[in-house]
Amino acid sequence: MNQKEKFFSLRARNISRCFGNIKANNSIDFSIEAGQIMALLGENGAGKTTFVRILSGLDQPDSGEILLNDQSVYFNSCRTAQKMGVGIIHQHFMLVQSMTVAENIALCDTDSSFIYSENKINDKMKKFEEEYGFFVNPNAKICQLSAGEQQRVEIIKALFRGTNVLILDEPTSVLTPQEADKLFVILQKMKNEGKAIVFISHKLREIMDYTDAVTVLRHGNLVGCRNVNDITQDDLISMMTGEKKVASIRKENVAVGENILKVASITVLDDRESKSIKNMSFEIKKNEIFGIAGIAGNGQRELVEAITGMRNVSSGKIFIYNEEVQNSTPKHVYSKGVAHIPEERIRFGIASGLKLFENTSIRNYEQRPYSKQSIMNYKAIKLKAQTIIEAFHVKTESVDTEIQNLSGGNMQKLIVGREMVDSPKLIVASHPTYGLDIASTKYIQQELLTKSKEGAGVLLISEDIDELMALSDRIAVVFRGELMGVLNREDVTIHKIGLLMAGEELSGENNNG
Amino acid sequence: MTWFVLIFGRFLVAGTPLLLGTIGEIYAEKAGNLNLGVEGMMAVGAISGFAFAHNTGNPWIGFILAGCMGGLLSLVHAFVTISLRANQVVSGLALTMFGVGLSGFIGNEYVGISLVPRFKNVAIPFLSEIPFVGEVLFTRSPVFYIAILLAVVFWYIMFRTKWGIIIRACGENPKTAESAGINVYRVQYTCVLIGGVCAGLAGAYISLYYIPTWIDGMIAGRGWIVIALVILSQWNSLKALFSCYLFGSIYVLQYALQGSFLNPTLLLMMPYLTAVTVLIVDSKKTLKYKTGSPTHLGEPYIK
């Protein structure tokens, strides 16, 4: 099909793709028509990403074919797919951060002239922006834009290339609820223009509200394609997990006890020496789960690092049980009974080249019985590792397995086990369920609830608002290093959190932060 | 007044090889490849320029072939670091050691020969008649004009054309460049090659005009200064015009101030000391602002 021909459908037939012994995609059929929004749903490892990579030419199937307007096509690279009007927006945006919006567009626009002309690009951009009702400043550098704005740049890029089928990989994971709504308005307009939209999502609410149809994958197999009007959220969950129903988790109301953590007007600098936490104060009490919501990059990482002793504060104090711990070391903080489930488990949670039992001893290798005058006692260490994998249901061959061979869910369970096995007093959990399947997610959430019931205080940082609402006693929203407000669980609504996440003040009496 | 013209003239002569090397290395680094072999490529450029000019009797042939030799050497680095994805620092250091050694080896039979076919100063009509300025700026060797012209053209291409956007994208975020349909490896090869040719030309300028004879080790660390100058110029060849001639003047002052109250050994340290100071100040600055340093510099790109 050349670009001038009118697009009406994209189909995939019997697509299979193997990686080693793993069948990532097993004869999947897929079909989308012009003017349709289709969601692609499935747990982690269900093969969604593999499938959209094949659909957009980034990967090639072992067998099966792709049909564009009922004609067989072969995408040997994403460039071929782009030429035929199939484009993808990755979860991590393909933008050059230090360049301006217009330069990024010129980079991708095959029609742009050799001598870079900002005006020409601006004119063309304006045309699209008027058509779809949004605006991006062409002279702004990408790094100055919010995630939502960056996404709009990606959409403009796709429009410049004349994309007919737009594939989005988890487009709303980096957006506030309000920004997500705006995105769907744009997608709706594109749909009305006769374009086809495919997007991957975990969020059932979005799928029910904004799509026409949903294709569900499980373990690399096609479960089915349904019209959203014919199904309920519960149907989707059971299609996705293969189970009938998953019990929803919710924290019970408990009386909270004494102060465990007190953060008193701390200011923390980030790696670029600008203030990423500004004069922040809060307290966490015994039995309490304190949630922090916010879009990534608003100071969450620096806050966690300051509390766990990995980063110095430039002013203010941090108390654990009335003892000052700011500007000490992680070792000192851990010795006060603090457990830390770090974000990006592979980067910060484990040493991926080491074996499982070595990883479980990272916290306490210096203590007896695990070592004696610097001589390791591997028997005791392995015994401990064995207790952890049994107690926390980590699926592994043995404690001698290299940890990088564990799946994401098991890795995270192991980290959670290592941190929680000695009944910590304070648990700092950063995105503890990020990227995990539903079963592991529920397990880890349940573990957090159990520990808080037993008396631990929990600082829970997450981008998943549903998770925060289910687990937290209080939710604070962080925006540009400041707490925009602290909401008690009975006052929390998604709408309020969304407003605070975007940096807006709540006008009303419910804001008691 | 003539004394003044002489000193200023020497500033420009000393700065020109630095400028040639710097604008070339800016291209390699902007595309994401750190080539620490500049010293080696300049050394090979110097000896091949000298040898070809001496044997053919034409400085232009020496000059052009020196560029080719520098380019050839840089392709070795490109192959090792881009295609084989070896560590760029290790490869660059090896290139320097190899180039300096090779130049000494070839140059053995040329030691002590004074070069006859040299570049002559060219006076640009009308402009050279301006008092003082004309004599300093417009009565120079042709390579000086070429270097200035190249610096401006290189700047224009880098910041005003689509090629520039493509090169910068490869150094900032090669994955993005790839997804825009650009062959990242080809861009990086080309830019490393440009860097090598420029370094070869810079070396030839030294042996054909600056010090028209062959002495082993005559590059004397200028290749390393070039690496520092790239940073000082913030990867911008127009800024390189300023910083390279500033450093050229430091080289000249080092000689001019000999016999004064300052110990000549101290003066010999000056370019290096300045380079280190610049690096410290600049590293402090990069924390806060983006100075033009390519994000993906020094890391091999794996598709």
Is the pLDDT higher at A504 or at B18? B18
Does the beta carbon of B54 lie under 8 angstroms from any beta carbon of chain A? Answer: no
Q: Compute the distance between CA of residue A411 and CA of residue B127 in angstroms, rounded to an integer.
A: 73
The more confidently predicted of residues A318 and A506 is A318
Asked if residue A244 has pLDDT above 60, the reply is no
In percent, the amount of chain B with pLDDT more than 90 equals 61
- The least confident of A254-258, A388-392, A420-424, B121-125 is A254-258
Average pLDDT, chain A: 87
Give dist(CA A287, CA A456) in Å, integer: 5
First-residue to last-residue Cα distance in chain A:
58
Q: Are A86 and A10 in contact (CB under 8 A)?
A: yes
B176/A95 Cβ within 8 A: yes
pLDDT of residue B286: 56
- Provide the 10 A C-beta neighbour count for residue B134: 16
> Which of A319-333, A448-462, B87-101 has maximum average pLDDT?
B87-101
Please name which of A89, A272, A74, A248 lies closest in space to residue A168, comparing C-alpha atoms: A89
Nearest by CB to residue B165, choosing from A82, A107, A273, is: A107
Per-residue pLDDT at A511: 44
B160, A107: Cβ pair inside 8 Å?
Answer: no
Nearest residue of chain A to residue B180 (CA atoms): A108
The pLDDT > 90 percentage for chain A reads 43
Residue A10 phi, psi (nearest 5) = -130, 125
- Over residues A444-492, the pLDDT tens digits come to 999 999 999 888 999 999 888 888 888 999 999 998 899 988 999 888 8
- Residues B192/B12, Cβ–Cβ less than 8 Å: no
How many interchain CB pairs under 8 A, A with B? Answer: 63
Q: How far is B190 from chain A (nearest CA, A)?
A: 18
Among candidates A96, A113, A274 on the partner chain, residue whose Cβ is nearest the Cβ of B173? A96
Nearest to B246 by CA among B268, B267, B270, B224: B270
Residue type, A419: E
- How would DSSP label each residue in A213-227? EEEEEETTEEEEEEE
What band does B57 get if pLDDT is binned at 50, 70 and 90?
very high
Rounded CA-CA distance A426/A21 in Å is 42
Q: Cis check for the bond before B117: say yes or no (omega within 30 of 0).
A: no
Chain A residues in contact with B161 (beta carbon < 8 A): 114-116
Which residue in this structure is represented by tokens 């503890």? A432
Domains and CATH numbers, chain B: 2-114+126-288 (1.10.3470)
Q: pLDDT tens digits, residue range A198-207?
A: 998 877 788 8
Tokens representing residue B169 in the block: 């994208």
pLDDT for A512: 44
Instruction: Judge contact between B86 and B191, C-beta under 8 A.
Output: no
Please tell me which residue, A291 or A170, carries the higher pLDDT value.
A291
Q: What is the pLDDT of residue A4?
A: 55
Contacts of A125 (CB under 8 A, 6+ apart): A102, A105, A136, A138, A156
pLDDT at A84 over 80: yes
Helix residue spans in A421-493 (DSSP H): 438-453, 465-471
How much of chain B, in percent, has pLDDT values that exceed 70?
Answer: 94
What sign has the CA pseudo-torsion A442, A447, A450, A456?
negative
**Residue A96 is nearest to which of B161, B172, B288, comparing CB atoms?**
B172
- Which residues is A37 bridged to in the sheet? A197
A113 touches chain B (CB under 8 A): yes
Is the confidence at residue B100, as pLDDT, over 60?
A: yes
Overall residue count recorded for chain A in this entry: 513
Which residues of chain B lie closer than 8 angstroms to A82, CB-CB?
181
pLDDT in tens, A347-386: 888 888 899 999 998 888 888 889 888 899 999 999 999 9
Tokens of A502: 């975007």
- Is the ipTM, as predicted for this complex, more than 0.90? no
Which range is most confident: A174-183, B1-10, B138-147? Answer: B138-147
The domains located in chain A, with CATH, are 9-241 (3.40.50.300), 259-348+425-501 (3.40.50.300)
Residue B285: what pLDDT?
60
- Helix residue ranges, H only, A255-405: 300-307, 330-335, 356-360, 378-391
d(CA A342, CA A416): 10
Asked if the model's pLDDT at residue B284 lies above 70, the reply is no
Backbone torsion region of residue A450, taken as left when φ is above 0, otherwise alpha when ψ lies between -120 and 50, otherwise beta: alpha
Q: B303 at the A interface (CB within 8 A)?
A: no
Instruction: Check CB contact under 8 Å for A114 and B162.
Output: yes
Kindly indicate the confidence band of residue B264, based on its pLDDT and cuts at 50, 70 and 90.
low
What is the pLDDT, as a whole number, of residue A185? 92
The residues pairing with A227 across neighbouring beta strands, listed in sequence order, are: A213
A71 to chain B, any CB pair closer than 8 A? The answer is no
- Which chain B residue lies closest to A87 (C-alpha atoms)? B179
Distance between A334 CA and the closest CA of chain B, angstroms: 30
Taking the CB of residue A322, how many other CB atoms lie within 10 A of it?
Answer: 9
> Residue A72 phi/psi, 5° resolution?
-70, 130
**B160/chain A closest Cα distance in angstroms:** 5
pLDDT at B287: 52
Min Cα–Cα distance to chain B from A441, Å: 31
- Assign B291 a pLDDT band (cuts: 50, 70, 90): low
B285: nearest CA partner in chain A: A272
Confidence (pTM):
0.80
User: Which residue of A98, A114, A157 to mutate against B (max B Cβ within 10 Å)?
Assistant: A98
Distance CA A456, CA A468 (A): 17
